[in-house]
Amino acid sequence: MTISRAEAPIIRSGFPRGGSLSGLQKRREFIADKLSILGDAALLFVPIGTDTTSSTGVDRNGRVITWDATIAGRYSTQGSGLLVDFDGAANDGDTPDVDALSFGDSQYDFPFSVGGLFVPDVNNALMTLLAKGGAATTEEWELFLDASGHPNFRLADESATAFLEGRYAVAAGTSVVTIDATYSGSRLVGGISLYTNGVSRTVTNDSSGAYVAMENSTGLMHVGARFATKEQFFNGRIGYAYVTPRMLTAAEIAESYHQDVAYYAL
């Protein structure tokens, strides 16, 4: 097996917590398989047991996520993988603003997808999974669970005070679930698709205002919360998370879920 540049942080980090050479090999294979689908991912976070106050993404850019506090005591195992626990009150992570995490230039939008593997602890709280933006006036995009546990993907055009949003009107539940959101870049209602556990779901579309395009703000990207003054903390566990500048196809998302089933023993 050829080891890609994206794996350099993995090798330096040593074995996964409680792991072995075979466990490390499974991790490498999972990451290589995931990147073969995501392509040149802007971010791919897959926990490893030696991470403490920061984590280096296994994407080729090696994005660094800085955590609110050490995650050393917040790991649990799921099959061959690790999950990181978020308490719903203070736990979150940030990665710096870069153009690769923005997908609009105020005139045009560009295709992208975001998602990961999650285990919500509650089903009745508004909780952010992944988001880009610094405040209510500088939002770009957000993947979140609403107060009914429904997966939502929102795109914001701040200068027009407008947004596009897609919602899957079925609760994600409190078991392991993969959530993938894709956007065609069309700037139209209907450009958003949502998937859970590898299956394309019926999307309820919503919009407000005269949406033109997202704007490339200086806000950070957040994992498990949103905004610089943190809110909507995620209560549950995260197995991995990604952002990629591609609208993934239904077949690719189904294949990604098969990878998850094998690695996390779902």
Which two tokens mark 107?
A: 């005139």
The pLDDT value recorded for residue 133 is: 97
Reduced to 3 states (helix: H, G, I; strand: E, B; else coil), residue 5 is: helix
The pLDDT value recorded for residue 10 is: 34
Distance, CA of 66 to chain centre: 15
The pLDDT value recorded for residue 146 is: 98
The pLDDT value recorded for residue 257 is: 98
Reduced to 3 states (helix: H, G, I; strand: E, B; else coil), residue 264 is: coil
CB-based contacts of 207, cutoff 8 Å, min separation 6: 162, 163, 164, 165, 189
User: Could you tell me the end-to-end alpha-carbon distance of the chain, in angstroms, rounded to an integer?
Assistant: 25
Which two tokens mark 123?
A: 């089903």
What string of pLDDT tens digits covers the 266 residues of the chain? 333 333 333 333 333 444 444 678 999 999 999 999 999 999 999 999 999 999 999 999 999 999 999 999 999 999 999 999 999 999 999 999 999 999 999 999 999 999 999 999 999 999 999 999 999 999 999 999 999 999 999 999 999 999 999 999 999 999 999 999 999 999 999 999 999 999 999 999 999 999 999 999 999 999 999 999 999 999 999 999 999 999 999 999 999 999 999 999 99
Instruction: Give the chain's radius of gyration (CA, Å).
Output: 17
Pairing of strands 112-120, 177-183: antiparallel
Distance, CA of 102 to chain centre: 14
Q: What is the CATH number of domain 5-263?
A: 2.60.120.200
Q: CA–CA separation, 244 vs 246, rounded Å? A: 6
The pLDDT value recorded for residue 183 is: 98
Please, are residues 151 and 195 in contact by the beta-carbon 8 Å criterion?
A: no
The pLDDT value recorded for residue 23 is: 76
